[in-house]
Amino acid sequence: MKYLMSTAVAHVNGMPVRIILDSASEINFISSDCTINLGLKRNRIHSSVSGINGLAQDIKYETNAIISNKDHSFKESLKFMVVPKISTVTPSCNLDRSRLSLPKHIKLADPSFHKPAKISMLLGAQVFFKIIKAEQIKINDSITLQNSVFNYIVTGGLFLLSEQERLENLISKFWQLESMEDESLNLNSQTKFCEDHFVKNHRRDETGHYIVQMAFLKEPSCLGESKQMAIRRLNSLWRKLEANPNLQQLYRNFIHEYLDMGYMEQVFEVSEPTVAYYMPHHGVLHPDSKSTPLRIVFDASCVTTTGESLNSILANGGVIQDELFAILFRFRKNRIGLISDIKKMFRMIFIDESQRDLLRIVWKESIDDSIKTYKMNRVVYGTTCAPYLAQRVLKQLVMDDGHNYPLAASAVSSDMYMDDLLTGAADIYSAKQLKEQLIVLSRGGGMQLHKWSSNCKELLANSEVSDGDVSLTIPDETKALGLLWRPQKDSLAFSMSANVDTCESCKITKRSVLSTTARIFDPLGLISPVVTKTKLVMQELWMLKLDWNDSLPIQLESQWKRFVTFLSTINTLNIPRYILLDYALKIELHGFAGASEKAYGAAICVRRLNNSGEISTNLLCSKARIAPLKSVTIPRLELCAAVLLAKLAQKTITSMKISFHSTVLWTDSTIVLAWIQKDPSVLKPFVKNRVSAIKNLTKISAWKHVPSKENPADIISRGIDPEKIQDCNLW
């Protein structure tokens, strides 16, 4: 029995890219040819990875790219290691698709899964759990359709695949020995082009709103006919709306709002313009959202008769805001926290009138009504350039008006993540000034900040700057870039439920383990030891080669049931958001590295001393890595942990934007300390490369020895049960 690889088609820079999903890889890979085709910037590195049977491969380059699905409802910024190729063509021969009896109405993640073709990217465990959805359709005993953000992936066994294909794809299964996700700003090759285009073509109207133009890699004249496809998709949409009156009303309300608010206008001309593009659209329900229960997504990736789509010819300037990790860091350094977001940010930015025919849609009020044509006049959610244009407008607003509002200018430049703001101030007076400036600055650009939250009631009750969207009471809980913030206690927290039956007769499968693991969102690594436990279980499941719906072995099932039974105990954690002290005389950064045969990790703590002699220490962040399947000596894993710590410490110092009086990096490995003291040229390649990295990132004098029993990173490497982390004083 041979197996189909889990392939899908993702989009990068508006271009389709064939990918393979591999949860057993801790690194994302991209082929060298793909980086050239996509115009991605490659950064020189010196590293190596080990794969099956201990085969090592030197890595000379890394790159960053934003992957998305076709409708851009899923988008992720990832770092990739560049390799000559991911695998040979997959599958190795043409398959008879008709023999699989796939349902015709199902959309596939890789419509050409049955045709031999190159794999350009391998996406590993870092993003795997975000891609896979719970739903699946069983075709027969061998073939299953697994739902994902890219639509359904064809998985299962066939007697049609060659042994060579299996071997070649196994070569691509690398286990990461060291990595610290570098989410730092890495502008793509189109950034300068987009920047120059924006500078030359943006303007403001009399109300302060920005009017922008989309930048094109190809002339829009290369687009073919698209209206008929949009009409077919609309008719299909209406069949769904007819079956769901509630959804129909929400959809109609959304369209009416677009018209009433002037976000789009009806086109009355009968003749078609020389160049036009029609975007199909569909709805995405957000039942938990009070303000936007339904969001309509416009499909600017739908191909025309020439094979091009609007997104395929649009330039994308990439991400120009700071990274999530850094913003969350800084959110913890001010005594007063303040969060908000820009209301309907994309819709507050006008598209130049000359380009609006490229943003057309069709709509009808009922299934039997006549079809009408509309064109958008605002930045459209679903176009590949929309995030860049929104970020660039915020940057321009700061450049144009920020000199009048210095506090707000700094916050918008450093503390915005797309339309979300996480910021703060040292005292109430500064916080009031900051908030007032933010409101006035954003209003000047035609935007409105709303959904304010803070741990300071006086700040929320400031009537002078009330915008009607401010609660006058401190909320119990609110979300801050995915993290749960409890402003009344000013603590960061988690809200977890097992979401899985743990009774004796209940079946625990690889799918249910994955589902639980994927819901643990811990970007700062505040519960890394608990997450280590889940990663070790996932690694064991892949070693056992279980199918998605196979039951776990009895011993592993018992272990997992016990874990999920106590998982909700992490909800009792209240982790201080504010990690500094008022009037601190000394602020020190202390980092810890540790490893075991199963995992390794790094943790950063901040130690403060105030003028009363009070000393306090808090965990700021941590990172955990699972040890590779190939046997690696403990000293080498300890060295990998030290590299991870060096990278994490550098990122912390850069992101926090405060002056630490001292930086001390601790390891319980005397061997690692001895290696760090040596000239890298006398060491073996594995050790040499990592020692060189440590010396480039840190000062040798910063490294000290700590006993294992006093090393919090040692807890990361061993993992801890969720019910025990609350009472773990060392953590």
Q: How many residues are listed for the chain in this entry?
A: 731
Instruction: Say whether pLDDT at 77 is over 80.
Output: yes
Distance CA 315, CA 321 (A): 18
Which tokens belong to 224?
């073919």
Beta strands in 193-351 (DSSP E): 203-204, 210-212, 264-267, 281-285, 294-298, 336-342, 350-351
Which tokens belong to 186?
């890495």
Q: How confident is the model at residue 452 (pLDDT cuts 50, 70, 90)?
A: very high
Q: Which of 86, 75, 80 is nearest to 12 (CA)?
A: 75
Beta strands in 349-419 (DSSP E): 350-351, 360-363, 372-376, 416-417
Q: Which of 88, 150, 146, 83 is nearest to 118 (CA)?
A: 88
Q: What is the CA radius of gyration of the chain?
A: 27
Beta strands in 433-583 (DSSP E): 449-454, 478-480, 483-486, 491-493, 575-576
Residue 105 has a pLDDT of 79
DSSP assigned state of 148: E
Q: 581-605 pLDDT, tens per residue? A: 777 789 999 999 999 999 999 999 9
Place of tokens 């057993």: 24
Residue 168 has a pLDDT of 33
Q: Which of 482, 319, 340, 464 is nearest to 408 (CA)?
A: 340
Peptide bond before 553: cis, by omega within 30 degrees of 0? no
Distance CA 346, CA 352 (A): 14
β-strand partners of 203: 211
Distance CA 363, CA 94 (A): 40
Which amino acid appears at position 503 of this protein? C
> Secondary structure of the chain: what % helix, strand, coil (to 5)?
35, 25, 40
pLDDT > 70: percent of the chain: 89
φ and ψ at 391, to 5 degrees?
A: -65, -40
Which tokens belong to 717?
């490497």
Q: How confident is the model at residue 173 (pLDDT cuts 50, 70, 90)?
A: very low
Which tokens belong to 231?
């009409």
Residues in Cβ contact with 534 at an 8 Å cutoff, skipping those fewer than 6 apart: 513, 516, 517, 520, 563
Which tokens belong to 181?
């996700």
Q: In a 3-state reduction of DSSP, which class is residue 12? A: strand
Q: Which of 544, 552, 535, 654 is nearest to 596 (CA)?
A: 535
Dihedral of CA atoms 101, 102, 103, 108 in degrees, nearest 10, equals -170
End-to-end alpha carbon distance in the chain: 47
Average pLDDT over residues 490-496: 90
Q: In a 3-state reduction of DSSP, which class is residue 306? A: coil
Which tokens belong to 243?
């079956």
Q: How confident is the model at residue 178 (pLDDT cuts 50, 70, 90)?
A: very low
Helices in 402-509 by DSSP H: which ranges?
406-414, 428-444, 457-460
DSSP string, 26-63: SS-EEEHHHHHHHT--EEEEEEEEE-GGG-EEEEEEEE
Which amino acid appears at position 213 of this protein? Q
Label residue 293 exposed, middle or buried (CB < 10 Å: 0-12, 13-18, 19+).
middle
Residue 134 has a pLDDT of 78
DSSP string, 570-631: GGG--EES--S-TTEEEEEEEEEEEE-SSEEEEEEEEEEEETT--EEEEEEEEEEEEPPSS-
DSSP assigned state of 550: P
Distance CA 214, CA 382 (A): 13
Distance CA 713, CA 718 (A): 9
For 114-123, 223-232, 636-645, which range has the lowest pLDDT when averaged over its residues? Answer: 114-123
Are 248 and 242 a contacting pair, CB within 8 Å? yes
Residue 500 has a pLDDT of 54
Q: Which of 259, 19, 194 is nearest to 124 (CA)?
A: 19
Distance CA 648, CA 415 (A): 20
Average pLDDT over residues 569-592: 89
Residue 318 has a pLDDT of 82
β-strand partners of 373: 267, 362
Average pLDDT over residues 77-102: 78
Residues in Cβ contact with 271 at an 8 Å cutoff, skipping those fewer than 6 apart: none
Average pLDDT over residues 527-546: 88
Residue 629 has a pLDDT of 78
Average pLDDT over residues 172-188: 39
DSSP assigned state of 470: B
Instruction: Say whether pLDDT at 472 is over 80.
Output: no
Residue 481 has a pLDDT of 85
Between residues 477 and 248, the one the model is more confident about? 248
Q: 140-170 pLDDT, tens per residue? A: 767 888 899 999 998 876 543 333 333 233 3
Q: Which of 153, 157, 94 is nearest to 128 (CA)?
A: 153
Residue 428 has a pLDDT of 93
Residue 297 has a pLDDT of 87
Which tokens belong to 545?
């080669």
Instruction: Say whether pLDDT at 509 is over 60.
Output: yes
Q: Print burial letters for 59-74: b (CB count within 10 Å at least 16), e (below 16).
A: bebbbbbbbbbbbbeb
User: Between vectors from CA 517 to CA 513 and to CA 522, what angle results, nearest 5°?
Assistant: 170
- All structural domains of the chain: 2-158 (2.40.70.10), 190-320+348-386 (no CATH), 338-342+389-493 (no CATH), 510-572 (no CATH), 580-727 (3.30.420)
Place of tokens 């975000």: 130
β-strand partners of 491: 486, 576
Q: How far is CA 650 from CA 180, 634, 660, 695, in A?
A: 11, 24, 12, 12
> What average pLDDT is seen over the chain?
86
Which amino acid appears at position 37 of this protein? N
Helices in 657-684 by DSSP H: which ranges?
670-677
Q: How confident is the model at residue 677 (pLDDT cuts 50, 70, 90)?
A: very high
Taking each helix axis from N to C end, the angle separating 528-544 and 510-518, rounded to the nearest 10 degrees, works out to 150
Give the global pTM: 0.71
For 30-44, 101-115, 469-483, 521-535, which range has the lowest pLDDT when averaged over its residues? Answer: 469-483
Residue 1 has a pLDDT of 42
Which tokens belong to 312?
């395929």
Residue 98 has a pLDDT of 66
Between residues 475 and 669, the one the model is more confident about? 669
Q: How confident is the model at residue 52 (pLDDT cuts 50, 70, 90)?
A: very low
Q: 265-289 pLDDT, tens per residue? A: 999 988 889 999 999 998 887 766 6
